[in-house]
Structure formats: structure tokens, C-alpha cells
Structure 1
Amino acid sequence: MDDDSGSDIQVSLAQAAAHLSAAKPFKTFFEQGDAITVELYAPVGTDKQQPHERDELYVIASGHGTFSRGGEIVTFGPGDLLYVPAHVPHRFETFSDEFKTWVIFYGPKRTRPVT
């Protein structure tokens, strides 16, 4: 956690959410080189994210909605785990006002596959 306490052993959802705003809907709370990065993400209105260079996991902390990955669409709710490989288009298509998700990027950045 990057706060004044210097502790990275625990961050609560409430503590993490206090750092978010409509202008900045995500914040990084833990990072260890290319091994892992953990963020909290809470988009407002529209999810505008683009594909990423690393594999990622979403752990839904609160809220519900629909998520698209490539050509698939799934519904999600609290406690669900969603996986997205690097460079695959994805977004939260619909989501409730209280929606928040932990985002875990892991592994090295990967170059886009040649098609």
C-alpha cells in the first residue's frame, strides 16, 4: 500500500476506495517489478480501458454487471474472478454504481502477437 504507514500487509476496500474519484478511477496499492501490480478500479459511467501488455485478473469487490472479453460476455458479481490475457480487448460493459474491482497484473509485459 502506498500510504504514509509504510505497511503493505493489508489494505481494506474502504481505505482503497477513499483514494478514487471520477477523474482518477484507479490507484495502485502494491507493485513488485514485473512480477505483480495490484490496483483498485472503479470506473464511473463508462469503462474506457484499452488492452494491456500483461495478463490480468479482476476480483470483483462490490457491485455487479456485464463484462466483455474478446467475443464473450459474462455477468459478474461480488467475489467473482475474471481473467484476461495480455492484448485481448475487454471492458466492463455495464456495472452498478457501487462497482469496484481489484485488478492484478502479473508477469512480464508481452509484445502483441503478429497476426
Structure 2
Amino acid sequence: MANLFEAIPDGLPEELFEEVVSGRGVTVERIVSRGHTSPASGWYDQPRHEWVLVLKGQGVVAFEGGESVTLGPGDHLTIPAHRRHRVAWTAPDEATIWLAVHYD
């Protein structure tokens, strides 16, 4: 048994990405952020769709073209494959725990 809210390091020099489970065409991962953002030098351009859910904390996902979405606990978002995006902000004073599902 495991718990998505446990085993979070006190210090997070980088975002923490952990695969929870994967199977045919689907990968589920836990992402933990604490004031982290995507590298300013680029955008994520993923070959698979991504459904992301914020379990705890807050974050802002920005899309190429200027749109941004603020997510808090319980908020979720589907990002189609190849839609260029980045994490523009996460709460600096608490862990933001994301559940991300990547699928074909």
C-alpha cells in the first residue's frame, strides 16, 4: 500500500516526478512542486494527452498563445497531445501535489 500524501521530502531542489503505475498506453505519475515552475527556456510539447488533477496546493498552467489556468485542490484539466504548455507558478509555501495521467 502507498499514500500519495506521504514520502514527500522536506527539501525539493527540483520538482519530484514519480511513476505510480503504467500499462498499455497509460502512465500515472505523482508530481510534487514547491514554488517550482517549468524551465523558462521552453514549453512542454508532449506526444500523449495529459489529464492533470491538483490534490493539494495550487498551480498555474500556461499555454502558448497566452491562456493560463489556475488549479487548486480538486481542479483538473485535460491537455491534448502537442498543446504547448508550461507550469508558470506553484505555491511556494506548501507542497503542490499533482496527479498526472498520460495516455494515447
What's the TM-score, normalizing by structure 2? 0.76
CA distance in 2: counterparts of 1:73 and 1:24, whole angstroms: 20
Letter in 1 for 2:100: V
Q: Higher strand fraction: Structure 1 or Structure 2?
A: 2
Contact 1:55–1:105 (8 Å) recurs in 2: yes
Once the two structures are TM-superposed, the CA of residue 76 in structure 1 deviates from its matched residue by 1.2
- Is 1:68 matched up with 2:58? no
User: Where in structure 2 are there 5+ consecutive unaligned residues?
Assistant: none
Question: In 1, distance between residues paired with 2:53 and 2:47?
Answer: 19
Tell me which residue corresponds to 1:7.
Answer: none
Partner of 2:51: 57
Q: Give the total of aligned pairs.
A: 96
Q: Which amino acid aligns with 2:97?
A: K
More divergent stretch after superposition (98-107 vs 37-46): 37-46
Identity %: 27
Higher helix proportion, which one? 1
Unaligned runs of 5+ in 1: 1-9, 108-115
Q: Which has the higher contact order (CA 8 A, sep 6+)?
A: 2
Root-mean-square deviation (Å) = 2.3
Question: 1:6 maps to which residue?
Answer: none
User: If you compute each CA radius of gyration, which structure gives the higher value, 1 or 2?
Assistant: 1
Residues 1-115 of structure 1 aligned to structure 2 (within 5 Å): 11-15=2-6, 17=8, 21-23=12-14, 25-34=16-25, 36-44=26-34, 45-48=36-39, 50-71=44-65, 72-97=67-92, 98-107=95-104
Please report the TM-score for the alignment, with normalisation by the length of structure 1.
0.70
